[in-house]
Chain A
Amino acid sequence: MSRSTPLLHLAVALDGAGWHPAAWREPGARPNDLFTAGYWADLAAEAERGLLDFVTIEDSLGQQSSSFTGPDGRTDQVRGRLDAVLTAARIAPLTTHLGLIPAAVVTHTEPFHLSKSVATLDHVSGGRAGVQVRVSGRADEAAHFGRREVPRLPVAALDSPAGRALLEELFGEAADYVEVVRRLWDSWEDDAEIRDVATGRFIDRAKLHYIDFAGRHFSVKGPSITPRPPQGQPLVAALAHRAEPFRLVATSADIGFVTPHDTAQATAIVEEIRTGQDRAGRGGQTVHILADLVVLLDDEPGRAAERRARLDASLDAPYAGDALVFAGTPAELADLLQEFARTGLTGFRLRPATLPYDLERITGGLVPELQRRGAFRQAYQAGTLRGLLGLPRPANRYTAA
């Protein structure tokens, strides 16, 4: 590779004992620790040792399930999870450079609360926060709130008229939600706090702003109760598999997670999001597009595939999720990532099939391999997540020019 080898952005998606349903039974797995702070702190420390850009932490407002329409009653897989924003906050003081992007559901929750909780995560982490917004289209999750009816649709029905209408509604609401969250982050100007003893004023109230958002699903007055966070606006991310969420990424996000299974798909997805960005007038803004891959890594050729076969053997059918599953050596994965990167992807979010094993192979195997190739940082050189991702601190929309 030449001097123009682009630096890749590399993140890890944390979920339970790993992304393979049988991960919790592996010899190094810690299924009894999943609900302790120490487990998450150890994973974050490992990710930080590997100089990764950030970790994401999965979340949902319902039980994990192999079925899209409700709980599956299974007892042979990990069930139960902690609130992701709070888990991120718990590990923030224990890390210094790693970005923290918890998932949060935007369908049943309050944008006012999420705005201040992510702003607070940014305050307690010194500017390393983001949030991965998720919609919930599940009827069983709606019943946990008892406030709206959601049709009980299987995944296959998403392209029916009813399915499309539901997606339009959910992702339209998500876009409004992100707009409110961002306005609230801007609702305090950076220099609103004046502590002017002469006049007795703590703040200059001309620098606090009502956001006056009125939409179909909510109206929010503002301003936030929480001062503008260190990054100005923490980062907004979203996972996207199809047109509606691609549009959400294009119009509203700083980071999109996508799931191409080959380079042709990757090219098409990048094109669709970039076009959407231009159409939304965000052509000049940096929006990272990271491909998600489930990874099993071993140094010895063939070992990872064997491990995959062993893990799959305890399931009814081999594990296949939304994202491509890779089993191989760190060097083979580095080859694949560099090939994918030529499609315009700016990085990758790796989903370790098992924890902590595959995370340790990422930090201890893949990262050094990419560093040898000049494709990954040798040290952290920025104090904020925006800094790591090459994103500027945004100007405040309410600050008079």
Chain B
Amino acid sequence: MSSTPKQIHLAAHFPGVNNTTVWSDPAAGSQIDFSSFVHLARTAERAKFDFLFLAEGLRLREQRGKIHDLDVVGRPDTFTVLAALAAVTDRLGLAGTINSTFNEPYEVARQFATLDHLSAGRAAWNVVTSWDEFTGENFRRGGYLAREDRYERADQFLTAVKVLLDSWRGDEIAADKESGTFLRDPDAGRFAHRVGQFDIAGSFNVPRSPQGRPVIFQAGDSEQGREFAASAADAIFTRHGTLEAGKAFYADVKGRLARYGRSPEELLILPGVTFVLGDTPADAEERAYEVRRQQVSGPTAITFVERIWNRDLSDRDPDGPLPAEDPLIDADPIVRGRADVRGADRLATAAHWRSVAEEKKLSLRELVIEVTGRQTFVGTPQQVARALDDFVQADASDGFILAPHLTPGGLDEFADTVVPLLQERGVFRTEYEGETLRDHLGLPALARPAGGSREEAVS
């Protein structure tokens, strides 16, 4: 063991458009007013977090053929709100999900290069790829992908963006008033790239940004997703919030890096987690249960069961039993616009839920609260600080992306109580040491690329 314990990385997830975000609480604020984003970003920066994270969805979710109305709905444009947040923060990393199916590399590369310039090196990109025709209905690129092609698309898209960003080395701008030389190199920004779905060439018009490129995140758990992350990402956004699952995932993914000539520190593993704090352990448990009840209203409980049963159950009583009939397996999904349980998994999940309900004598709503609602970390600030530290020291992760259940104040208490305890334990920074997000994450600076070239990349 070294004398310095492994350091924890922390990030704040702006509360999302699903039932974990509680809007019925009197303390719940706007999901769209800029003041809410400012509040959370400033709280995260005050607490010396690595970054703020924004998710994205490009079509409103539907259930039973209608827009889902029970959860928070409505989000800003990711790039635009992150650029505005750069004006009210100094060090906090600014991370967002941007879809690689319904965008073009030239535009996305410009937007990330711009965000990185305007934030002086704090931009990060969570690369996601949609495959659904449902979302495609909002776009001129209406064509969608076969589900199994999505990582290939993501990989090719990311490669294209990197080609564009690397078309400037970073030393081309002379801006020498005396000699009249603005550019040292007439080929700055030149690129040609013909790979797979992309056949693009010309001149990229944003000079190299402070980080060179945004920090790259990958979210997803499949075999292909893990491999994609090991080859190309700087961090993984995972769902493994338990110690055992976390350790297995961590070992698996870190073990893949050597094959790509990368060291374990070059890919951070950051699970998305939830938390509830209390003055005593019992108080925390009580508050956690109350939050779960807020998260799973009667109508919301019905929609959860509908997603598994794949049937319209709008006439059921949430305080009554689970449906007697079995899930529909072959019908089209009742839910659109979100990741979904599919096919035969429905039967297994339904069987499991029934057995839990029977054993614990739970109504439909109580069952949903029981099986879906449990927060990752519940306890006093001391308990939570220790649990977070233990999790990281056990190599179950390199840190956490914390999703508060309240907008915008849901991180305040954590910042005020847990963060100082982590700092006392010597596992979390007390001041930012670097300028850029790469610095915060301990990622090595990128090598300077060759710059603009007229030669084509073909494969």
Q: Give chain A's interface residues, CB within 8 Å of chain B.
A: 24-26, 29, 31-32, 35-37, 41, 60-64, 71, 73-83, 85-87, 89-94, 108-113, 116-117, 119-121, 123-124, 126, 140-141, 143-147, 188, 193, 195, 197, 199-205, 208, 217-223, 225-227, 314
Task: Give the distance to chain A from B348, nearest Cβ to Cβ, in Å.
Answer: 29
The reply on B262 being an interface residue by CB < 8 A is no
In the bound complex, what is the Cα–Cα distance between A41 and B79 (angstroms)? Answer: 18
**One of A93, A202, A225 near B84 (C-beta < 8 A):** A93
Q: Please give, as numbers and ranges, the residues of chain A lying within 8 Å of B57 by CB-CB distance.
A: 225
Q: Are A202 and B180 in contact (CB under 8 A)?
A: no
In the bound complex, what is the Cα–Cα distance between A285 and B431 (angstroms)? Answer: 55
A-B contact pairs, 5 of them (CB 8 A): A35-B117, A87-B114, A108-B107, A119-B77, A314-B180
In the bound complex, what is the Cα–Cα distance between A219 and B143 (angstroms)? Answer: 12
Q: Are B198 and A146 in contact (CB under 8 A)?
A: yes
Which 4 A/B pairs are nearest by Cβ-Cβ distance?
Answer: A218-B140, A31-B175, A120-B80, A221-B137
Q: Are B24 and A195 in contact (CB under 8 A)?
A: yes
In the bound complex, what is the Cα–Cα distance between A386 and B335 (angstroms)? Answer: 40
B 174-213 contacts with A by CB, 8 A: 175, 177, 180-186, 188-189, 198-207, 209
Task: Give the distance to chain B from A207, nearest Cβ to Cβ, in Å.
Answer: 10
In the bound complex, what is the Cα–Cα distance between A145 and B204 (angstroms)? Answer: 11
B 113-159 contacts with A by CB, 8 A: 113-115, 117-120, 137-142
Q: Are B32 and A112 in contact (CB under 8 A)?
A: no
Q: Are A24 and B175 in contact (CB under 8 A)?
A: yes
Q: Please give, as numbers and ranges, the residues of chain B lying within 8 Å of A141 by CB-CB distance.
A: 202
Give the residue among A35, A87, A116 with the most B Cβ atoms within 10 A: A35
Q: Are B202 and A193 in contact (CB under 8 A)?
A: no
Q: Please give, as numbers and ranges, the residues of chain A lying within 8 Å of B81 by CB-CB distance.
A: 89, 120, 123-124
In the bound complex, what is the Cα–Cα distance between A120 and B206 (angstroms)? Answer: 23
Interface size class of B (residues with CB under 8 A): 35 or more
Q: Are B76 and A226 in contact (CB under 8 A)?
A: yes
Task: Give the distance to chain A from B23, nearest Cβ to Cβ, in Å.
Answer: 6
Considering the complex, give the chain B residue whose CB is closest to the CB of A204. B69
Q: Are B70 and A73 in contact (CB under 8 A)?
A: no
Task: Give the distance to chain A from B331, nearest Cβ to Cβ, in Å.
Answer: 22
In the bound complex, what is the Cα–Cα distance between A110 and B117 (angstroms)? Answer: 24
The reply on B83 being an interface residue by CB < 8 A is yes
In the bound complex, what is the Cα–Cα distance between A76 and B176 (angstroms)? Answer: 9
> Scoring B residues 338 to 378 as 1 if CB is less than 8 Å from chain A, else 0, what string do you get?
00000000000000000000000000000000000000000
Given A25-B180, A80-B189, A117-B79, does the pair A112, B138 have CB atoms closer than 8 Å? yes
Q: Are A146 and B137 in contact (CB under 8 A)?
A: no
Considering the complex, give the chain B residue whose CB is closest to the CB of A65. B203
Q: Are B69 and A79 in contact (CB under 8 A)?
A: no
Q: Are B80 and A117 in contact (CB under 8 A)?
A: yes
Q: Are A120 and B76 in contact (CB under 8 A)?
A: yes
In the bound complex, what is the Cα–Cα distance between A91 and B186 (angstroms)? Answer: 31
The reply on B243 being an interface residue by CB < 8 A is no
The reply on B313 being an interface residue by CB < 8 A is no
In the bound complex, what is the Cα–Cα distance between A35 and B74 (angstroms)? Answer: 32
Q: Please give, as numbers and ranges, the residues of chain B lying within 8 Å of A35 by CB-CB distance.
A: 117, 206-207, 209
Given A77-B182, A90-B84, does the pair A145, B139 have CB atoms closer than 8 Å? no
**One of A109, A124, A203 near B69 (C-beta < 8 A):** A203
Considering the complex, give the chain A residue whose CB is closest to the CB of B104. A145
Q: Please give, as numbers and ranges, the residues of chain A lying within 8 Å of B200 by CB-CB distance.
A: 143-146
Given contacts A31-B177, A37-B120, 18 further A-B contacts (CB under 8 A): A25-B180, A61-B106, A61-B110, A63-B205, A81-B205, A82-B114, A83-B114, A87-B118, A89-B80, A90-B83, A90-B87, A109-B107, A117-B79, A120-B76, A144-B203, A202-B72, A219-B142, A220-B139
